[in-house]
Chain A
């Protein structure tokens, strides 16, 4: 069975600084997707970034980038130039094998961005 572990329950960062959220996962699958989702307080879950396991290149989306280490089964999220609007719960999630939309989530990291 696949598992996703987020070892940082809470993190804080000052506005404009950089923060990295950690995630490790366990799977015997070779083809899968990894995601970071953001859930702002009392608001909807939205996708931040995704990574296909077959791609060696790390995904980037504006200020958000990942460090995907397939052999180590590690998938960290780096947020550069943190903004107050980045304050949210961040969930790492795994999808696999393919032909399913089932997501396995980590326990989440609560990120607080301070002015």
Chain B
């Protein structure tokens, strides 16, 4: 089975631009979560999607948005980029969140990340 894939792997943008990052979960996985990783703030939760619905959102400004498609692939978008948005953006997928639909724990698998640099 192929792992979680994220595209692009590296991205350089300038302030004020917008960017879209893509995440393809493991086949059969319906839950996708996004995290921002920076040296200063560590790993922070951005969003969680399950069956095309956003179930959870972290404490990020409205410039950060996301969506999930019917094939479970997910995208996140950052508009009006700021220097502080430079980070590694990680995506993780699981079959179903624990407790949902009677499921017990299903392991989350992380992708390699997209390294975004804002100049």
Q: Could you list which residues of chain A lie within 8 angstroms of chain B, going by C-beta atoms?
A: 33, 37, 43-47, 50, 52, 91, 95, 97-108
Contacts and interface: CB of A to CB of B under 8 A. Distances in A.
Most buried by A among B31, B92, B94, B108: B108
Contacts of A44: 3, 110-113
Given A45-B90, A103-B92, 11 more contacts: A37-B110, A44-B112, A50-B107, A97-B99, A101-B31, A101-B48, A101-B98, A102-B33, A103-B33, A106-B42, A108-B42
A103 B31 CA distance: 13
B100 interface: yes
B56 interface: yes
Contacts of A47: 107-108
Contacts of B99: 97-100
Interface of A is mostly: loop
B45 A103 contact: yes
Nearest to A106: B42
The 3 closest A-B pairs by CB, nearest first: A98-B99, A99-B99, A105-B43
Contacts of B108: 47, 101, 103
B48 A102 contact: yes
B105 A33 contact: yes
B45 A98 contact: no
A31 to B, nearest CB: 8
A46 B110 contact: yes
19 contacts: A43-B112, A44-B113, A45-B90, A45-B110, A47-B108, A50-B105, A91-B43, A98-B100, A100-B48, A101-B33, A101-B92, A101-B98, A102-B45, A103-B33, A103-B45, A105-B42, A105-B43, A105-B44, A108-B43
Contacts of B66: none
A51 B118 CA distance: 38
Contacts of A97: 99
B15 interface: no
Contacts of A99: 97-100
Given A50-B105, A108-B42, A101 B97 contact: yes
B63 interface: no
B88 to A, nearest CB: 10
Contacts of B105: 33, 50, 52
